[in-house]
Amino acid sequence: MGEPCRQTCTQVRTHVYTPGADTDMHDTRRHSSTRTGERPLKAKLQTGVVPLLLVLHWKHGAGNPLPITPVNATYATCATRHPCYNNLMSQIRSQLGQLNSSANALFILYYTAQGEPFPNNLDKLCGPNVTDFPPFHANGTEKARLVELYRIVAYLGASLGNITRDQKTLNPNALSLHSKLNATADIMRGLLSNVHCRLCSKYHVAHVDVTYGPDTTGKDVFQKKKLGCQLLGKYKQVIAVLAQAF
Amino acid sequence: ELLHSCGHINPPSAVVQCGSNFTAVCVVKEECMDFFHVNANYIYWKTSHFTIPKEQYTIINKTASSVTFTNIGLLNTHLTCNVLTFGQIEQNVYGITIISGFPPEKPKNLDCIVDEGKKMLCHWDPGRETHLETNFTLKSEWATEKFADCKPKHDAPSSCVLDYTIVYFVNIEVWVEAENALGKTKSDHINFDPVDKVKPSAPRNLSVSNSEELSSILKLAWSNPYFKTVARLKYNIQYRTKDASVWSQIPCEDTASTRSSFTVQDLKPFTEYVFRIRCIKADGKGYWSDWSQEASGITYEDRPSKTPSFWYKIEPSHVHAYRSVLLIWKTLPPFKANGKILDFEVTLTRWKSSQLQNYTVNDTKLRVNLTNDRYIATLTARNLVGRSDASVLTIPAFDFQGNLTESKCYLITVTPVYADGPGSSESIKAYLKQAPPSKGPTVRTKKVGKNEAVLEWDQLPVDVQNGFIRNYTIFYRTNVGNETAVNVDSSHTEYTLSSLTSDTLYMVRMAAYTDEGGKDGPEFTFTTPKFAQGEIEAIVVPVCLAFLLTTLLGVLFCFNKRDLIKKHIWPNVPDPSKSHIAQWSPHTPPRHNFSSKNQMYSDGNFTDVSVVEIEANVKKSFPDDLKSLDLFKKEKPSTEGHSSGIGGSSCMSSSRPSISSSDETESAQNTSSTIQYSTVVHSGYRHQVPSVQVFSRSESTQPLLDSEERPEDLQLVDHNADDILPRQQYFKQNCSQQETNPDISHFEQSKQVSSVNEEDFVRLQQQQISNHISQSCGSGQMKMFQEVSAADAFGSGTEGQIERFQTVGMEAAIDEGTPKSYLPQTVRQGGYMPQ
């Protein structure tokens, strides 16, 4: 399952496609990607930032860009499997709180599991120096904040998938870390679904262009650990802002 | 193989719904028919080993026969099609399996539970048994994606564990589909947030600790399940004593928020309690966790709450003057000991001595040698925290025996002594022999009324009772009457004597009786009052009230009729110093004059005197005058023929009797000429400085005496008051027109005079006028018109003219035919005069 995913993702790049997830959304996504995937993503593609890889842990729908951008033409395409409930914002807040409360523990667990020199060189190795991380503007409208949240969660979800995959190889015995990474990825998956629902049901936004972090597949062990540590440091930082903003 | 190929049954297999009909057709190949020399009539049907009755067969044609089952019940059998060959050899042609059952019912009561740390389990009610293989599929999805189906295991077909990690705070929709050979159905969809279906793990590490400060509390502490990081929790905490089987529960409202410790209060000291705890999501959604493991703790000790039961036994002693006393007591039960009893302390105090003997004993008995004196023994129990209260016991003296005397009250107390200690004691009062009381009760009155008296007395002291007082007798009599006796129960200390005679001396005494006789007390005398309390008041107060009421009514009557009374008894004497000067007001004359007149009457001082005030509004004179003139013209018909009074007498009477004259100028000239002979005063109207003077005059008040002497004249004026008004107006109008004439020099002169205080001056003049009215009435002088004409002819006035002018008003009144006519006069004698 992972292999075809990687191929597909690499080819499509901006549009993660999970085989087997035979939902209406996916069909729509593929169509929509050709129409709307170009605008902000061309630059990303050119700069080489976008290379993406999802692992098995990043399950159905995770990181998938929502189809269709034009607001006035999305009623037909922005469909959900069943009506979204009206407690979405409350749920989103709960999920952000849940992530925020566990982010620091995950960060500590991660750099501890990596061993030296990480725990003693956090500033150098784990500083939140993540380039091309999707921006967030806390003072924007709810719609704008949700769109930005969607991008961030998609980015983080994909990155967490990569980190989980790497850690299973690099630290196969750090079961607690694996479990925590999986749990975080699960919550993020749910968060992405809720944001999708909210954007779709209230703002009729069916498509959001997303970007992903660098692929670590070809990098050496230290670089993998370092990129993971930086990402989790960034995650810890940004999730606090997000939890505050909603 | 031969038979197999000989025919077949249609349908080849059957799943049939219970209660329906089913028909199977067996078709035998012709070659077989020929081979066996049979036809369709030879076909017969069997289910398992039973032949189906021929009535159910139908021969369709030469090679085919069908069998029909109606209202099929539960079946799971083989149906075979057979032929009889050669008349008796049974050959099986074909066989099928028939199974009957029901289509699946719609699954009901679908619900899910998320055991914390485990996957989500959903369960449902599959409905009636289908008797067929029925597949259930649990389907689940988010609004944005679908999850893999969940297939129940065979051993638990009505529940399924979803194999993916459940995510909280995302609504998930779940439903069940059921399918078998007879149909397919699905349950209602349920949509929920998994966080509301969680059964948290039970709280862990429950521990109990006590407090040395408070013996009634225990502190609980525990570790919350991980679910606490997801949602807030509430708890149930239950406890019981170690030996009890029933749990008590802490009120839920006290444990309705997330916490990890709790202090349980109101527990018994030094008692072991067992606790357990469980939790649920704070909003009550979801499921209660299992109970935690039980934990127990013992409350801290408290001082013993009760004293031990305490008794003694006196044992004979061989030593003279001493005796052996065994003090015994019981151990305290745990709920009274409130801790571990460390020892007992016994203190013995000799009677009337401060000598103490202290013993600390671990046992529950103590043997001591005591003298034959009386002793007081105290016992306390001690534990780690403190001592109990003391239990006191009196050990009587050795020589204590009953030297009882007669007519003495004894309190006999009996205390039962059981094997394990004393019981509760009971007491009774007793006399060896009773005697009459040594003194009788002293009676006195508590309250004495006209016909009754309340007597009271004190209980006899026990020393003089000499027995049980059974009753009292009260004797009372008057000086001359017979003595009356009343028996009263001994429990009373008060009695009311009734039907007494008022204002009488009574003598009363009282006797107390025991079983052996009675004794009189001292005699007490009292006198009943003549009147009962409040009787005098009851008479006096209404009388006073009636008197007051009468007086009040009298006063009111007098007040209402005061004018009449005053007129007949003390008629008013006008004060000369308050005389008014009339004023002409061309502005609003009729109304003003009326009010002025009314005011005069309302004052009540001049009951029979009319005063007319006439003002002159000089500023607005001309237009107002015209209006007034018009008004007057309208009123003229009604006023004509009644003209009298000041205005009429001064202006109108000068040359013309009526205003209807069209020659106004002439009239004005006439008037002005008349006024010139009148007094001249200028006055303001409503604070305005008049541009034209008002004519008036005041005279000496001397003639007032005449007025008083001739009240009939005054009344005449009163009757003509109404008639005066139009005339006055007319007079003023004429005067006003005169004002417009700038050539009239005396106006200006009078204006100068009024420069001091116009208003006061005018008021003074008005008074003078009113005074003058009386004066003129009294004078009864005549020839007014003539005099006025003369004044007109003289032009500007002189001192002498003014004097003459006085008479003018008087004469005018006569001339009108009414004795009361007033001419406005402005100058008092000796005061202002026109120049």
User: Residues of A with CB below 8 A from B191's CB?
Assistant: 82, 85
CB within 8 Å: A190 and B141: no
Structure tokens at B129: 């048994």
Distance from CA of B170 to the nearest CA of A (A): 6
Query: DSSP string spanning B739-773?
Result: HT-TT-HHHHHHHHHTTS-HHHHHHHHHHHHHHHH
Q: Among A91, A186, A197, whose Cβ lies nearest the Cβ of B144?
A: A197
Query: Residue B578: its pLDDT value, please?
Result: 77
Which structural domains are found in chain A, ordered by start? 88-245 (1.20.1250.10)
Give dist(CA B827, CA B806) in Å, integer: 10
What are phi and psi for residue B749, nearest 5 degrees? -65, -45
CB within 8 Å: A91 and B173: no
CB within 8 Å: B141 and A84: no
CB within 8 Å: A91 and B230: no
Query: Residue A137: its pLDDT value, please?
Result: 92
* Domain boundary assignment for chain B: 7-101, 108-196, 200-299, 309-402, 443-528
Distance from CA of A219 to the nearest CA of B (A): 31
In terms of C-beta density within 10 A (0-12 exposed, 13-18 middle, 19 or more buried), how is residue B491 classed? exposed
Query: Residue A148: its pLDDT value, please?
Result: 92
Q: Among A85, A95, A191, whose Cβ lies nearest the Cβ of B171?
A: A85
C-alpha Rg value of chain B to the nearest Å: 67
User: Residues of B with CB below 8 A from A183's CB?
Assistant: 165
DSSP letter assigned to residue A218: T
Q: Among B144, B165, B170, whose Cβ lies nearest the Cβ of A25?
A: B144
Quick check: B142 and A193 in contact, CB under 8 A?
Answer: yes
Give dist(CA B797, CA B677) in Å, integer: 6
CB within 8 Å: A193 and B144: yes
Query: Residue B401: its pLDDT value, please?
Result: 61
Short-list B825, B602, B818, CA closest to B714: B818
Q: What is the pTM of this model?
A: 0.54
Quick check: B592 and B585 in contact, CB under 8 A?
Answer: yes
Quick check: B396 and B374 in contact, CB under 8 A?
Answer: yes
User: Residues of B with CB below 8 A from A60's CB?
Assistant: 145-147
| Straight-line distance from the first to the last Cα atom of chain B, in angstroms, rounded to the nearest whole number | 174
Would you say residue A55 has pLDDT above 80? Answer: no
Query: Residue B715: its pLDDT value, please?
Result: 42
Give dist(CA A106, CA A184) in Å, integer: 9
Q: Among B167, B191, B229, whose Cβ lies nearest the Cβ of A189?
A: B167
CB within 8 Å: A85 and B167: no
Distance from CA of A94 to the nearest CA of B (A): 7
Query: Residue B399: its pLDDT value, please?
Result: 67
Short-list A244, A237, A108, A132, CA closest to A180: A108
Give B238-267 pLDDT, tens digit per residue.
Answer: 999 998 999 999 999 999 999 999 999 999
CB within 8 Å: A193 and B143: yes
Dihedral angle, C-alpha B630, B633, B635, B639, nearest 10 °: 140
Distance from CA of B206 to the nearest CA of A (A): 25
A168-177, A221-230, B309-318: segment of lowest average pLDDT: B309-318
Element (H, E) at A221: helix A221-245
Would you say residue A239 has pLDDT above 90? Answer: yes
Kindly indicate whether the domain formed by B309-402 is annotated with CATH number 3.30.70.20. no
Query: Residue B31: its pLDDT value, please?
Result: 83
Give residue B48's region: left, alpha or beta (phi > 0; psi -120 to 50).
left
Short-list B613, B605, B602, B820, CA closest to B707: B820
Kindly indicate whether the domain formed by B108-196 is annotated with CATH number 2.60.40.10. yes
- In B416-469, beta strands by DSSP E: 417-418, 421-422, 426-431, 443-448, 453-457
Distance, CA of B32 to chain centre: 106
Q: Which residue in this structure is represented by tokens 């050539």?
A: B743
CB within 8 Å: A81 and B165: no
What are phi and psi for residue B203, nearest 5 degrees? -55, 145
Quick check: B422 and B507 in contact, CB under 8 A?
Answer: no
Structure tokens at B192: 């929920």
The structural architecture, per CATH, of the domain B7-101 is Sandwich (2.60)
Residue B199: what residue type? K
Cβ of B262: how many Cβ atoms within 10 Å?
18
User: Residues of B with CB below 8 A from A61's CB?
Assistant: 144-145
Query: Residue A77: its pLDDT value, please?
Result: 66
| Straight-line distance from the first to the last Cα atom of chain A, in angstroms, rounded to the nearest whole number | 35
Distance from CA of A23 to the nearest CA of B (A): 7
User: Residues of A with CB below 8 A from B146's CB?
Assistant: 21-23, 60, 81
Structure tokens at A53: 């890889």
Name the strands in the sheet holding B272-281, side by side, starting at the edge strand that comes first in the sequence. Answer: B248-249, B233-241, B272-281, B295-298
CB within 8 Å: A193 and B142: yes
| CA distances in angstroms from B345 to B336, B340, B382, B388, B497, listed in the order given | 17, 15, 8, 10, 62
Give dist(CA B473, CA B485) in Å, integer: 6
Short-list B278, B276, B267, B279, CA closest to B295: B276
Structure tokens at B574: 């006008």
Identify the segments of chain B with pLDDT beneath 70.
1-5, 399-402, 419-421, 581-835
ipTM: 0.75
Residues B200-299: name the CATH superfamily.
Immunoglobulins (2.60.40.10)
Using the CB atoms, write b or e for A117-130: b if 16+ within 10 Å.
ebeeeeeebbeeeb
Give dist(CA A205, CA A67) in Å, integer: 8
Would you say residue A147 has pLDDT above 90? Answer: yes
- In B233-355, beta strands by DSSP E: 233-241, 248-249, 261-264, 272-281, 295-298, 310-315, 322-329, 341-350
Query: Residue B584: its pLDDT value, please?
Result: 56
User: Residues of A with CB below 8 A from B145's CB?
Assistant: 21, 23, 25, 60-61, 81, 193
Give B188-228 pLDDT, tens digit per residue.
Answer: 999 999 999 999 999 999 999 998 888 899 999 999 999 99
User: Residues of A with CB below 8 A from B141's CB?
Assistant: 81-82
**Measured CA angle at B67 (ends B65, B70), to 5 deg:** 155
User: Residues of A with CB below 8 A from B173's CB?
Assistant: 81-82
Give B398-443 pLDDT, tens digit per residue.
Answer: 765 667 788 888 888 888 877 666 778 888 988 888 899 988 898 8
Quick check: A159 and A127 in contact, CB under 8 A?
Answer: no
Q: Name the interface residues of B facing A (CB cutoff 8 Å).
A: 141-147, 164-165, 167-171, 173, 189, 191, 193, 195, 229-230
Query: Residue B221: its pLDDT value, please?
Result: 94
Q: Which residue in this structure is represented by tokens 């009505």?
A: B158
Cβ of B821: how many Cβ atoms within 10 Å?
33
Give dist(CA B356, CA B348) in Å, integer: 6
User: Residues of B with CB below 8 A from A25's CB?
Assistant: 144-145
Q: Are the folds of B108-196 and B200-299 the same?
A: yes
Distance, CA of B542 to chain centre: 43
As beta bridge partners, residue B429 has B411
Short-list A51, A12, A52, CA closest to A29: A12
CB within 8 Å: B168 and A187: yes
Q: How are beta strands B494-497 and B453-457 bridged, if at all? A: antiparallel
Query: Residue A185: its pLDDT value, please?
Result: 93
Tell me if residue B387 falls in helix, strand or coil. Answer: strand
Distance from CA of B144 to the nearest CA of A (A): 6
CB within 8 Å: A91 and B170: yes
Q: Which residue of B has its CA nearest to A22?
A: B146
CB within 8 Å: A81 and B173: yes
Give dist(CA B474, CA B490) in Å, integer: 12
Residue B497: what residue type? L
Helical ranges in A37-141 per DSSP H: 41-47, 88-114, 122-125
Q: What angle, rounded to 10 degrees, do the helices at B721-739 and B664-677 form?
A: 100
Q: Name the interface residues of A facing B (CB cutoff 8 Å).
A: 21-23, 25, 59-61, 80-85, 87, 91-92, 94-95, 98, 101-102, 182-183, 186-187, 189-194, 196-197
CATH code: domain B443-528 is 2.60.40.10
DSSP letter assigned to residue A73: G
DSSP letter assigned to residue B158: T
Structure tokens at B188: 């209602």
Q: How are beta strands B14-17 and B89-101 bridged, if at all? A: parallel
Q: Which residue of A has its CA nearest to B196?
A: A91
Q: Among A22, A101, A190, whose Cβ lies nearest the Cβ of B229?
A: A101
